[in-house]
Structure 1
């Protein structure tokens, strides 16, 4: 493995040689080290030859076998061997042959005469019930083909499926390319280097593929070339998780202070199972997002008193001394101080000098009773606000209202609720989050009754709710401000207080 540096690869798009070469040019511009050209029975030999001879990047040439329909099986195998044999003759850097036909191909091609080409033997495991022992036996069988490199792909239905691949990567005695297909398999690309992998796939910009990071993010955000066996793993546990900007913030912040860590998105369905499977010290800390903030509380060995009182955790750190999971809530102070600072900025220096919170005595109207809602409710209560909660599930609203000595009302009444002027409105739901940024939790017509409107959604930065609040004359406070503050607090928990707050704030304001 030591002879292989990290390679970032992308699959070329297009059917014609011209389209493939244009795709290769774009891949090179975006930082790919190598490209994979996946061919099939409809591609002509002349097309293959043209692309190989005019390549701008080293190539992996593979042939997709269907072994049914269209061509008869014997003809398809013949075409496969013809294409891959030509690739070897033309000096393609790698040829990828499927395990089912590997022995026949290896016996028919004089690879020793073409030392510039290395052989990859690949297999796609469709049975997700395969144990790591069974996969280990499969890898041993693949090694017996005399391949230079082996490639194993599995389908990932849940993120815990990927753990089997990390085990294989750390144990395999020959170079291994291993990844999980599908959006739950993204960490198989982002973390494989830590466990011994040497090739990572990324997608060309504008061509989103589930489970693949973009080439630009691999080069600009994650910078996997700095990863090694000692890198500490951090990430955001959420579902969905694609909206998270955490990686854009935490990864540069780690590098800025010289901390050997990586922060990745983790699409998690079952948080309890996730922590059971990923229990090693390598998985050192987590941000917790929708919908897991309340369930995360039960996964922790110890919980900070504030988080326990709120009933929701948004940060979990694995204590190095004993491996126990410690839960915290940085949402509460982040959101409430963002609201308070915006109110003080409006009132001017004289009122702003008071030690009393500007929320004291205010009617605080909260939409949402999940993890973020609980943090806002408890924070508002601690500042002396009067709290009214609207939520789609009225029983959840009643439960939270009882905990903060507030009032719960049916969500359908939100647009007719106006007992007084100069109220505070806080949205703690995901309504208005991309890709549904045309939605809003509260009608524009009633926003004039509010002195300030806060939206916990930060993608997009300026939501429809905030735009309409400003038009109604209210102070608009973006979820970006809450995100910055809670992320700085999280980073301090991750690193033992090493956050450069100004650096992190500038990243968010410049890139979000």
Structure 2
């Protein structure tokens, strides 16, 4: 009988996690299968208990469930500090982890971008923003957080420590001194592919622009970055690296990262 894994979110139809993980399972000859499940926030607790009861091997958790999951399960110290979960393991109860931050860091390293002592501006204050803010601050980056609701940005900044939080109304001023801009919101995600928070006229040519949205591959934000002569970085490898770390947690097996990346790129 196949071991079942999955990803829960709402919406979820855009997710490429099933393609990526199923390619990894096939490459390693593992009798496992990975599926996407649409789950509303108010139903997450029941969904997690059901997955555990049915013998699931593990889950990824995506928007908007990452923060909701924290109050429902046991978490490892990093996930607890971040306040958001993106990976759940069922081998010993129901335990949550967060692999988003390391996925983002490895993505920028792949692109030749060092984050230490760099000015990083994060757009958004949700689960992915939390993971990146905590991880990057610990790695020596100088982090600012901008959010549509300033209070959420300021609350997250206070939790992380040595971080500034503000609304979108001061983006023009802040971007002048920013080295790395990271969009962690869903703005620009399919089907709203024409949307962006920042445009080319607000950017500068020394800026690295990293969009965690990976569908479409080249978001409107990244198109604006190219127009400004800035360096665009897609969210594909963040998906792959955070998924690879989740794969290790679930199975204890070293994941075939190249196979996972190839599957995602072919799907896009």
Counterpart selection for 1:393 from 149, 166, 178: 149
Cα distance, 1:389 vs. partner? 0.8
State TM-score, norm by structure 1. 0.50
Q: Quick check: 1:433–1:460 contact (8 Å CA) kept in 2?
A: yes
Find out whether 1:290 has 2:59 as its counterpart. Answer: no
| Aligned ranges 1:263-282 → 2 under 5 Å | 263-269=34-40, 270-282=43-55
Partner of 1:463: 219
Partner of 1:370: 126
User: 1:51-101: per-residue Cα shift (whole Å, max 9, x none)?
Assistant: xxxxxxxxxxxxxxxxxxxxxxxxxxxxxxxxxxxxxxxxxxxxxxxxxxx
Counterpart selection for 1:252 from 10, 17, 23: 23
Partner of 2:166: 409
Give me the whole-angstrom Cα distance separating, in 2, the residues matched to 1:279 and 1:337. Answer: 31
Tell which has more relative contact order, 1 or 2 (C-alpha 8 A, sep 6+): 2
SS of residue in 2 equivalent to 1:448: coil
Q: Against the structure 1 CA distance between its residues 411 and 442, is the aligned structure 2 distance closer, same or farther, given a 3 Å change threshold?
A: same
Find out whether 1:493 has 2:249 as its counterpart. Answer: yes
State TM-score, norm by structure 2. 0.93
Partner of 2:11: 240
Q: How many residues align?
A: 265
Cα distance, 1:449 vs. partner? 6.2
Give me the whole-angstrom Cα distance separating, in 2, the residues matched to 1:279 and 1:392. Answer: 36
Q: Against the structure 1 CA distance between its residues 231 and 418, is the aligned structure 2 distance closer, same or farther, given a 3 Å change threshold?
A: closer
User: 1:150-195: per-residue Cα shift (whole Å, max 9, x none)?
Assistant: xxxxxxxxxxxxxxxxxxxxxxxxxxxxxxxxxxxxxxxxxxxxxx
Cα distance, 1:498 vs. partner? 3.9
Find out whether 1:475 has 2:231 as its counterpart. Answer: yes
Partner of 1:335: 104
Q: Quick check: 1:415–1:442 contact (8 Å CA) kept in 2?
A: no
| Aligned ranges 1:30-69 → 2 under 5 Å | none
SS of residue in 2 equivalent to 1:236: strand
Cα distance, 1:378 vs. partner? 1.1
Give me the whole-angstrom Cα distance separating, in 1, the residues matched to 2:174 and 2:147. Answer: 14
Q: CA RMSD in A?
A: 1.7
Q: Quick check: 1:281–1:318 contact (8 Å CA) kept in 2?
A: no
Give me the whole-angstrom Cα distance separating, in 2, the residues matched to 1:338 and 1:498. Answer: 18
Q: Give runs of ≥4 in structure 1 deviating > 4 Å.
A: none
Q: Against the structure 1 CA distance between its residues 498 and 337, is the aligned structure 2 distance closer, same or farther, given a 3 Å change threshold?
A: closer
Whose radius of gyration is greater, 1 or 2? 1
Partner of 2:76: 304
Give me the whole-angstrom Cα distance separating, in 1, the residues matched to 2:205 and 2:46. Answer: 45
Cα distance, 1:416 vs. partner? 4.4
Cα distance, 1:340 vs. partner? 3.0
